[in-house]
């Protein structure tokens, strides 16, 4: 139970706190919720929220390129853990996290995250184990609630950087390597829907479909109903649908271009016409959205 409880606390600290709340500003929360998220993130022992967000924002800005900290083009091992083992022993550039550098709570966690991570992530399970089972419980708390939980947490997070850029589906875009993996989503609290996330990174949801497993999304939504979270950012359904159609358009067009003629030529002509209509519909949607925004102002 200590393993599961602390795994959830650490995991949600990363997915809810470090990732969606701070790195992407997908919603806002009250002070106590932010504190809990920062403490949970510290127990994951993946650097401070400030440094983590700097790396992650650079990943999104330069995905699959040299400036990407965990560039999958450098190999699965590099994206998974190699980039951490061989990264410079200095803090990452601060130019992309000026907003977080002005947050007193984030800066406090930045200074004390190691102590907090050790105290809560290891000290707490050892204390509980000692109180319930004596010396054997202390050892069990250290090994299971501390070490085993941390190893599982690390590799769960690292698989988003590696596996979700290596295997999976691309229903929204194939212009980058990010892929959706429902299996990874199960033990990363919904982070496995990575293709959607790279297309719509500021959406508070990763698993956007009703049947997709995304506990982080559910927690944010629940907190908003309790008055503890606000300003949940969502991409319009129409825009998501257009991205899916455009991607299917691209995939089908690639398949048709490789198919033998002459049957394919007729299909290509029909498909080209459908593609033009889709493009016109997309432009009309963007124009309507722009006019609505002006009218709302």
User: 48 by DSSP, 3-state: which?
Assistant: coil
Higher pLDDT, 270 or 211: 211
* CA-based nearest residue to 215, from 41, 2, 11, 6: 11
Reported as a pLDDT band with limits 50, 70 and 90, residue 257 is: confident
Reported as a pLDDT band with limits 50, 70 and 90, residue 264 is: low
Look up residue 9 and give its two tokens.
Answer: 């606390």
Task: Name the DSSP class of 235.
Answer: -
Residue range 68-89: mean pLDDT, rounded: 90
Q: Output phi, psi for 261, to 5 deg.
A: -85, 165
- Supply the pTM of this predicted model: 0.86
Reported as a pLDDT band with limits 50, 70 and 90, residue 250 is: confident
Average pLDDT score, the chain: 90
Q: What is the pLDDT of residues 94-129, one digit of tens each?
A: 889 999 999 999 999 999 999 999 999 999 999 999
Q: What percent of the chain has a predicted confidence (pLDDT) above 90? A: 75
Q: What percent of the chain has a predicted confidence (pLDDT) above 70? A: 96
Q: What is the pLDDT of residues 150-203, one digit of tens each?
A: 999 999 999 999 999 999 999 999 999 999 999 999 999 999 999 999 999 999
Burial 28-50 (b: 16+ CB within 10 A, else e): ebeeebbebbbbbbbbbbbbbbb
Q: HSE on the CB side for 188, CA within 13 Å?
A: 26
Residue 266: per-residue pLDDT: 66
């Amino acid at each position: 139970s200590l393993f599961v409880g602390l795994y959830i606390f650490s995991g949600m600290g990363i997915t809810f706190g470090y990732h969606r709340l701070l790195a992407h500003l997908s919603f806002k929360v009250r002070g106590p919720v932010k504190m809990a998220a920062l403490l949970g993130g510290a127990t994951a022992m993946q650097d401070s929220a400030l440094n983590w967000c700097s790396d992650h924002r650079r990943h999104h800005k330069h995905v699959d390129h040299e400036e990407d900290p965990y560039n999958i083009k450098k190999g699965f091992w590099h994206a998974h853990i190699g980039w951490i083992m061989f990264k410079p022993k200095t803090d990452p550039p601060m130019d992309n996290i000026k907003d977080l550098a002005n947050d007193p709570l984030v800066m406090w966690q930045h200074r004390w995250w190691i102590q907090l991570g050790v105290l809560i992530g290891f000290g707490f399970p050892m204390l509980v184990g000692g109180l319930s089972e004596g010396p054997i419980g202390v050892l069990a708390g250290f090994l299971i609630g501390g070490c085993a939980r941390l190893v599982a947490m690390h590799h769960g997070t690292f698989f988003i950087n590696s596996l979700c850029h290596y295997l999976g589906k691309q229903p929204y875009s194939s212009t980058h390597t990010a892929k959706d993996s429902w299996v990874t989503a199960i033990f990363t609290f919904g982070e496995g829907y990575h293709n959607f996330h790279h297309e719509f990174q500021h959406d508070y949801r990763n698993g956007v479909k009703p049947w997709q497993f995304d506990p982080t999304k559910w927690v944010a939504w629940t907190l908003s109903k309790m008055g503890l979270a606000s300003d949940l950012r969502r991409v319009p359904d129409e825009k998501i649908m257009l991205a899916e159609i455009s991607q299917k358009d691209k995939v089908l067009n690639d398949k048709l271009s490789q198919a033998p003629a002459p049957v394919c030529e007729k299909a290509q002509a029909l498909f080209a016409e459908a593609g033009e209509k889709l493009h016109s519909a997309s432009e009309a949607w963007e124009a309507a959205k722009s006019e609505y925004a002006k009218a709302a102002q």
